[in-house]
Amino acid sequence: MKAAVLQAYGQPPAYADVPDPVPGPGEEVIEVTAAPVNNIDKVRAGGTHYSVPSRPPADASSALAATDLPKVVGVIGAGRRPGGQRVLFGAEGGTMAQYATARPEYTFPVPDGLDDAAAAAAWNPGLSAWLLFGWRARPEPGATVLVLGATGVTGRLAVQAARRHGAGRVVAAGRNPDSLAALPALGADAVISLSQPDAGLAAAFAAEAGDSGYDVVADYLWGHPTEVFVGSLIREDIQVRSLRTRLVQAGEMAGAGIALPAAALRSAGLEVLGTGTGTMPPADRIGAMLTDLMQRLASGEVSIETERVPLADVAAVWSRDQRGRRPVLIP
């Protein structure tokens, strides 16, 4: 069969022939109809994601980097089970291929009226946003929310998720001007351009926070933009306040680390949380959130922009700036 195959960490996958997958105990073969190019796929292929064994370097000459290669990339897809049922599925053995294997408990029905490509594209970023607001942060009704990295695919869904989980005011920060301009239509009350000097950016964060501040920050960037934001929280006085800002770290598109000043924790009530594979709710809650997300997509209450791309073109789209639109590979 044809598949997107990773030959070396740090390089784009190649369109190549591989043997058809052989199902293990309890698995079944899925005929793949759509496989999105998610950020997690690209970070894993770069060898830097925490889920990659031993975090191999991107040096293809390293013995460590070659221990589990070549392999089919992708962790999420849409397709058809042997009986013809349309499903979303997760697979550790790779999804960017004509066929993949999955366990029935990791497959979920695609609602009628929802395209396979849209369903597959929304699963990872949309569920991430639903889990952030519905499980990890749980904002109070009327809360003020800031989304850092709102112009990407996940950030755009996070703006919509914040609204659907009770936020009273949503501030969206990002770089892409076209995507930024479209965010009010998705539920943002205010937007902040990250493409400005640090002093201006810090002032914008502070101005939109107002006196009551941000209740929840969904951070898909980390790195320097987060450092600027954290600095904007610091109160240079000894006035007694009851502030609480929960910053939920959900991505690292701008860097893997930050400098965290003690003054932000002590003067601004900053609390830093993470959301990822180690912070998941019970399986039934995950399934319920995914079902809610898919039903809202099918009804048009939630939207995602996709670009259908032939599987053969995987290398061409792999490193391209998605600009708020998720490429979906079609075998």
Within a domain: residue 83? yes
Is it the case that residue 331 has pLDDT exceeding 70? yes
Give whole-number Cα distances, 228 to 48, 108, 176, in Å.
24, 40, 18
Cα-only R_g, the chain: 20
When pLDDT is averaged across residues 306-318 and rounded to a whole number, the result is 96
Domain containing residue 319: CATH number = 3.90.180.10
Same-domain check for residues 85 and 145: no
pLDDT tops 50 at residue 64: no
Question: pLDDT tens digits, residue range 154-211?
Answer: 999 999 999 999 999 999 999 999 999 999 999 999 999 999 999 999 999 999 998 8
215 and 134 assigned to the same domain: yes
- Give me the pLDDT at residue 240, please: 66
The CATH number that applies at residue 196 is 3.40.50.720
| Cis peptide, bond prior to residue 36, ω within 30 of zero | no
Same domain as 180, residue 102: no
Give the span between the Cα atoms of 73 and 94, in whole angstroms: 5
3-state secondary structure 88-127: EEECCCCCCECEEEECHHHEEECCCCCCHHHHHHHHHHHH
Clarify whether residues 310 and 238 are in a common domain. no
Full domain range(s) for residue 39: 2-110+301-330
Contact indicator for 6, 65 with CB cutoff of 8 Å? no
pLDDT value of residue 60 = 45
> 179: Cβ–Cβ under 8 A, 6 or more apart, which residues?
150, 151, 152, 156, 323, 324
What are the respective helix, strand and coil percentages of the chain, to the nearest 5?
35, 25, 40
Which of the pair, 219 or 284, is modelled with greater confidence? 219
Q: pLDDT category, 71, cuts 50, 70, 90?
A: very high
Q: Output the pLDDT for position 304.
A: 96
Token pair belonging to 205: 């964060």
Lowest-pLDDT choice from 105-114, 133-142, 240-249: 240-249
What rounded mean pLDDT belongs to the chain?
A: 91
Count of the separate structural domains present in the chain: 2
pLDDT of residue 67: 67
248 vs 157: CA distance, rounded Å = 15
Kindly write down the DSSP assignment for every residue of 12-29, as one continuous string.
--EEEE-PPP---TT-EE
The vertex-165 CA angle with 223 and 279, nearest 5°, equals 50
Q: How confident is the model at residue 50 (pLDDT cuts 50, 70, 90)?
A: low
What pLDDT score does 116 carry?
A: 97
Same domain, 71 and 25: yes
pLDDT digits (tens, 9 = 90+) for 16-47: 999 999 999 999 999 999 999 998 888 888 86
Query: Same domain for 131 and 47?
Result: no
Q: Please tell me the pTM assigned to this model.
A: 0.87
- Does residue 285 belong to any structural domain of this protein? no
| pLDDT for residue 62 is more than 50 | no
**Contact status, residue 10 vs residue 125, Cβ threshold 8 Å:** no
219: pLDDT strictly greater than 60: yes
Residue 91: beta bridge partners?
none
Q: Looking at the structure, tell me whether residues 21 and 77 fall in a common domain.
A: yes
Residue 283 covered by a domain: no
Q: What is the pLDDT of residue 53?
A: 61
Q: Are residues 23 and 88 in the same domain?
A: yes
Give the sign of the dihedral formed by CA 305, CA 286, CA 115, CA 17.
positive
Determine contact, residues 63/39, Cβ cutoff 8 Å: no
Distance of CA 81 to the CA centre of its chain: 26
CB atoms within 10 A of CB 197: 9
Does the pLDDT of residue 218 top 80, yes or no?
Answer: yes
Q: What is the mean pLDDT of residues 291-307?
A: 95
Nearest CA to 72 out of 46, 90, 45 is that of 45
Structure tokens at 198: 């640090």
Q: How far apart are CA 262 and CA 331, in angstroms?
A: 51
For the cut 70, the answer to whether the pLDDT of residue 128 exceeds it is yes
